[in-house]
Structure 1
Amino acid sequence: MNSFILFLIIMSFTPGPNTIMAMLSGQNRGFKKSLPLNLGMAVGFSIIGIIIMLFAEQFGDNMKILFLMKILGSLYLSYLTYHVYYSKPAKNKMIILGFKNGLLVQLSNVKVYLYFITGLSAYSLTGKFGIMPYRLLVMVIMGSLGTLSWTLFGKLIENVYKRHYKIFNNVIAIFLIVSIIDLWR
């Protein structure tokens, strides 16, 4: 259970296409004007989650598919670890439009697919977390809280990140490595 919660926190609050867009929107437009973008992301998140939930049993029951997902997930998390570790603060600001942009970024976000495939099929949980719709709901809420928090603290995160990005990147890279190791337990 603890490893599942840690997985959700790391995947929901670490940088990815959606969190970076949310942060930039918060910086450029403020929290209130960024809500349509976040709503689009939440809808996209939900669509992907529901589709994967419908097939999660097939993923979980098929050891070959599960092994392949773990390999792909480990490779993607390694890719993220590398890029997070070596990344520097962005200098370009972009204009974020709204709902449609949020929806499209989620539907094309590999991190979201891996988030749901791993969270819904790789963990054997008991109690409420063993019930797929409940687990899906918790994952959607946690993912949405991640993007909302990056939006809310966009300007603050930008300033702190620019000053301390090496420390920030190192900590995130360590958490991503822990996630890779945890996938194989």
Structure 2
Amino acid sequence: MTSFILFIFIMSFTPGPNTIMAMLSGQNMGFKKSLPLNLGMAIGFSVIGIIIMFFATQVQGNQIILFLMKIIGSLYLGYLTYHVYNSKPSKNEMMILGFKNGLAVQLTNVKVYLYFITGLSAYSLTGQLGSMLSRLLLMIIMGSLGTLSWTLFGQLIENTYKKHYKIFNTVIAILLIISIIDLWR
């Protein structure tokens, strides 16, 4: 059970496309105005988790599905990279980070698919976490806490971001590019 908890904690709180976008939204819009983005991410996260719960074994072994997810995820991350790199700290520029974008970033986030495939199919647990539904709920809660934490972190560094936004945007764009490269490893 400890390895499962450690796995979901690490996967939920380490950088990925969703956490990077959550941080960027917190920097530009603040925590409260970033809640629609986080809600979109939580719903996308939940939808993926439920689907994977029913099809974990089939998806895990299907190279065609995984390849298509990588292509779609790479294209969407490329789109986000372009907008992040070119954005300025103004509310008009950051309107791209609403509910629909939160949902879209999760639905195209291969890290989320791998998170659920691994967490729901690779761990055999006993007790309350022996139930796949219990593991799913814990994974959704932990994943949502991860993005909310990154949003809060983004808000905490908001003033620094506004002074040095080009450096931050460049670093975030590079991290998104690394995420794209990481998809293909």
TM over 0.5: yes
Gaps of 5+ in 2: 68-84, 165-185
The 5 Å alignment of 1:33-182 reads 33-56=33-56, 65=61, 95=94, 96-156=96-156
Please say if 1:22 is aligned against 2:22.
yes
Deviations 1:134-162 (A, max 9, x none): 11000000000000000011144686xx9
Say if 1:38 and 1:148, in contact at 8 Å, map to a contact too.
yes
Deviations 1:18-71 (A, max 9, x none): 0000000000000000000000000000000000001236579xxxx39x8xxx
Residue 31 of structure 1: SS of its match in structure 2?
Answer: helix
* Letter in structure 2 aligned against 1:45: F
Q: Partners of 1:157 and 1:2 in 2: how far apart?
A: 33
Q: CA 1:137–1:29 in 2, change beyond 3 Å: closer, same or farther?
A: same
Q: Partners of 1:59 and 1:24 in 2: how far apart?
A: 31
Say if 1:59 and 1:121, in contact at 8 Å, map to a contact too.
no
Matched length: 136
Gaps of 5+ in 1: 73-89, 163-185
Say if 2:34 and 2:98, in contact at 8 Å, map to a contact too.
yes
Cross-structure match for 1:31: 31
Cross-structure match for 2:12: 12
Q: CA 1:10–1:91 in 2, change beyond 3 Å: closer, same or farther?
A: farther
Residues 1-10 or 30-39, more deviating: 1-10
* Letter in structure 2 aligned against 1:149: S
* Letter in structure 1 aligned against 2:23: M
Residue 125 of structure 1: SS of its match in structure 2?
Answer: coil
* Letter in structure 2 aligned against 1:136: L
Q: CA 1:59–1:102 in 2, change beyond 3 Å: closer, same or farther?
A: closer
TM-score by length of 1: 0.66
Q: CA 1:100–1:3 in 2, change beyond 3 Å: closer, same or farther?
A: same
* Letter in structure 1 aligned against 2:104: L
Q: Partners of 1:157 and 1:123 in 2: how far apart?
A: 37
Q: CA 1:157–1:52 in 2, change beyond 3 Å: closer, same or farther?
A: farther
Say if 2:57 and 2:121, in contact at 8 Å, map to a contact too.
yes
Regions of 4+ moved over 4 Å: 57-60, 90-94
* % identical aligned pairs: 77
